[in-house]
Amino acid sequence: MRLLSFLGLLVGGTFSLAIAVKSQVNPSSIDVFQMPELPPPPEDGRILSEKGLVVSTQRQASEVGAKILAQGGNAVDAAVAIGYALAVTEPCCGNLGGGGFMLIQPAQGKPTFINFREKAPLAAHKELYLKQPRGASRNGYLAVATPGTVKGLEAALTQYGTLERAQVIAPAITLAEKGFVLSQGDVAILRVGRERLLQPNIAEIFGTVKGQRAGDTLVQKDLAQTLKKIAQGGEKAFYQGEIAENIVKASKAEGGILSLADFTQYTIRQEKPLICTYRGYEVITAPPPGGGLPLCQMLNILEGYPLEETGFRTPQALHWFLSAMFYGYRDRNLYLGDPDFVSIPSEKLLSKSYAAQLRTKIPNYFAIRVKNTLPTKLDGQTTHYSVVDRQGNAVAVTYTLNSYFGAGVMAPKTGFLLNNEMDDFTTKLGSPNQYGLSQGSANLIEPGKRPLSSMSPTIVKHRGRLFLVTGTPGGSTIITTILQVITNIIDYRLRVDQAVNSPRLHYQGEPRTVLIEKKAISNQVRRDLEKRGYQFSERLTNWGAAETILLNSKGVLEGVNDYRRPAGAAIAEPQLQKSLTR
């Protein structure tokens, strides 16, 4: 049976390839992303280290990071190396053609937040998609925002790294040029890409029968050339040379609006991260347009409830959780946007008194009533990785192409996929995006503006000491996933791997349905919550991989690769390579 369905895939894939290489991405095509059934989480999913540790959603990329640490690099060197390696080994999500956020907490000193989120092209405007076919903000060149990843990684390395650019990009070049052997987990993700991987320029690399089987070697020659150019010329090679020119040319030819000015004028934003407190812990996270503000708001609301005493996943505790999620998402949709363009009442939204005020609005028993809307699709993907080095420097990175394999377009000779981050804007007031988020006017498209994001790389400290480094992909479920990882550890005292692997819930108010992972709640609890007015769905199958590191009270790092991403790995800095010098 398994063989038959596999053969079906091969035949389908080969046949589609012949057609797709001549066609454009169909903007109205509907993606149905489904990850295969997972084996259960391991009994103990922790990897321990007394030195450095990295965890990412792709094993070879984690190995790259661990080796960079062993070569004397610090956590930022390793994070930049992983960022480039994932662009090769996890093409669904790791990227050069997208953007994201990096949170750095040096062992000594203040944290910093590097926002390299993509920007809307200068020719974009708030009515861009109103007369376009359905799906134009998700598929094809019109969906592409100006990428920020290369500038973000470069900024981090220049300011906080210790190794040369060429040294941290070298492993990625080797992985692209010589190829890497696909694991079953890698193949599962490539298969999820389906239609996007059968498009012009992309099909030649990924859409082949060969590239879809575990054990095959995936070689990416064009990507290796692109990486070499970046290794030599830095961000200029990406934003001011042939790479940008090729993207702009392809975009113009295919109905996109990217111009060279979008690339030459692209800037990152670097600032103090958003910091809030939760039961005596310091939560350092992503300021807008990232998802840290609603995360802190939810934590502030929950802080007023006796979660531990009320019990893990009891109806009452879940009612408080779902209500906190409701208000976090309501305010996100009402108030948040790119702070370079809109004024956000952050102080009020983050205050403990505002949380107390919201708690008074939460009914004791019944669910908060909202209008019902269409079910959400939630098919996007992103990737998160965490690094801590032996000095205690910590880095959390979440970066993304938005959907799996972005907009499904690749400019000739570049070798990397381009994002569809334009769909994270409010493309039409009142219309939900792919995550079912009906966002507000603060997030309307403007030239050079960054779309709102849920990405929230997060570092938690306790009494001034590093405690947790976390984050996750998963579109709008990012914020609620991190909320659960943090509260699972702080309130419910779960071990870090149990906190990560424990089945999850997600609620964003609209749609009214609470998404639940299998076994997240018992039937009895579900019936109780249904009586309160909640409704549930197990439709979402690709929950995000919360790649997390905890520093325990004995000073040992505990890293966990989320079992939901079997391609990933937590890897300790190799002991044997301790003496290697750079």
Residue ranges that bind ligand GLY, judged by CB under 6 A: 380, 382, 400, 402, 424, 453-455, 475
Could you tell me what percentage of the chain is helix, strand and coil, using 3-state DSSP and rounding each to the nearest 5? 40, 15, 45
- Among residues 57, 112, 285, 382, which one is catalytic? 382
Report, in Å, the least distance between residue 416 CB and ligand GLY.
17
Is 199 or 453 the residue whose CB approaches ligand GLY more closely?
453
Alpha-carbon span 210 to 208, nearest angstrom: 5
Tokens of 447: 């030239």
Q: Which residue number, 10 or 30, has a Cβ lying nearer to ligand GLY?
A: 30
Report the number of secondary-structure helices (H) and strands (E) in the chain: 19, 19
360: annotated active-site residue: no
Nearer to ligand GLY, 60 or 481 (CB): 481
Q: Smallest gap, in angstroms, from Cβ of residue 335 to ligand GLY?
A: 16
27-31 contacts at long range (C-beta below 8 A, 24 or more positions apart): 27/132, 27/133, 27/134, 27/135, 27/136, 27/138, 27/139, 27/140, 27/142, 28/133, 28/134, 28/135, 28/139, 29/135, 29/139, 29/195, 30/135, 31/138, 31/194, 31/195, 31/196, 31/379, 31/403, 31/404
User: Residue 582 in contact with residue 71, Cβ under 8 Å?
Assistant: yes
Round to whole Å and give the CA distance between 103 and 397: 6
H or E element, residue 8: helix 2-20
Shortest reach from residue 426's CB to ligand GLY, in Å: 13
d(CA 2, CA 7): 9
Beta bridge partners of 506: 515
Evaluate whether 223 touches 415 at the Cβ level (below 8 Å): yes
Residue 481 φ then ψ, to 5°: -65, -45
Q: 367: how many CB neighbours lie within 10 A of its CB?
A: 22
What is residue 195's DSSP assignment? G
Residue, CB closest to ligand GLY: 453
Position of tokens 């044997």?
Answer: 576
Residues involved in catalysis: 382
